[in-house]
Amino acid sequence: RVAYVNGQYVQHGQATVHVEDRGFQFADGVYEVWSVFDGRMADFDGHMTRLHRSLNELRIPIPMTREALERVLKETVRRNRVNEGLVYIQVTRGTARRDHPFPAEGTAPSVIVTARSLPLSKGNAAAAKGVAVITHPDIRWGRCDIKTVGLLPNVLAKQAAKERGAAEAWMVDEMGLVTEGSSTNAWIVDESGKLRTRDTQSNILHGITRAAVMALAADEGIEVEERAFSVDEARRAREAFYTSASGFVMPTVSIDGAMIGDGKPGPIATKLRAQYLDQAR
């Protein structure tokens, strides 16, 4: 395997960044994840645009032109012979002696890209059975719309899920409303049959898969309401699922051990997953 590190393609095992990288010391950096279908990165532009937005919001310099970045990403996929899998990019504010304020102007941002094969079929068994989620307090900061590598609250939430035999943790704000999953957006089909997911004005990541699924639902004539739902509403929901670039649409059949609907993947979640995979291919 090969990784791209600051201008060079190097063996994955030898791919390292400096000890004074601000990503390492301050989580002062951003990232994106794409899925790859048939050797092509899905929703290429959506993730690219969000990457630039994250960089702009944090005033991290744009490391290279969009075209150059596109070449690096696609070349990393090619060199790793990824047909189905994931691409990861991380851009940090660069390497400088440890000091909280931004480093001197002209400090080059660090850019690393990795790509790995992961058969799409890997998630299909879980999707066919449906997965469990737990709830967990959302203890993150006020700018969850920025895709930063500061993921410690997400890590703790996902680990709590793992320790309880669940696939994902749905984070809950102080009002008892679900914000999003630790690395996914959360959805329900509520008691009236409407698709519900939290609005993007209220401190969640603007999921690219979320946007794609909203468009698919609109095509199907399914009504989508961008409005937060409570844990209680999730328990009483007809269906639930979560979305992300790595998991697509994942039917969710229980929350904190309580069955959702009939405890099987719901028809809307199942249909949206199939349609998402269809159009991504």
Task: Indicate the residue among 95 and 111 with the shorter CB distance to ligand PDD.
Answer: 111
Q: Does 64 participate in binding ligand PDD (rule CB under 6 A)?
A: no
31: which residues sit within 8 A by CB, 6+ positions away? 88, 89, 90, 91, 147, 148, 149
Binding mask 243-272 for ligand PDD (x = CB under 6 A): xxxx--------------------------
Q: Does 180 participate in binding ligand PDD (rule CB under 6 A)?
A: yes
CA 199 to chain centre: 16
Tell me which stretch binds ligand PDD (CB under 6 A): 15-23, 126-134, 162-170, 200-208: 200-208
Q: Please say whether the dihedral angle defined by the alpha carbons of residues 99, 100, 101 and 105, taken in this order, is positive or negative.
A: positive
Tell me which stretch binds ligand PDD (CB under 6 A): 179-187, 214-222, 263-271, 273-281: 179-187
Torsion of CA 48, 52, 55, 58, to 10 degrees: -130
Q: Does 85 participate in binding ligand PDD (rule CB under 6 A)?
A: no
Binding mask 18-57 for ligand PDD (x = CB under 6 A): ---------------x------------------------
147 among known catalytic residues: yes
Cα–Cα distances in Å, from 67 out to 61, 64, 94, 221?
16, 8, 21, 37
Give me the residues that bind ligand PDD (CB under 6 A), please: 33, 154, 180, 183-185, 205, 207-210, 243-246
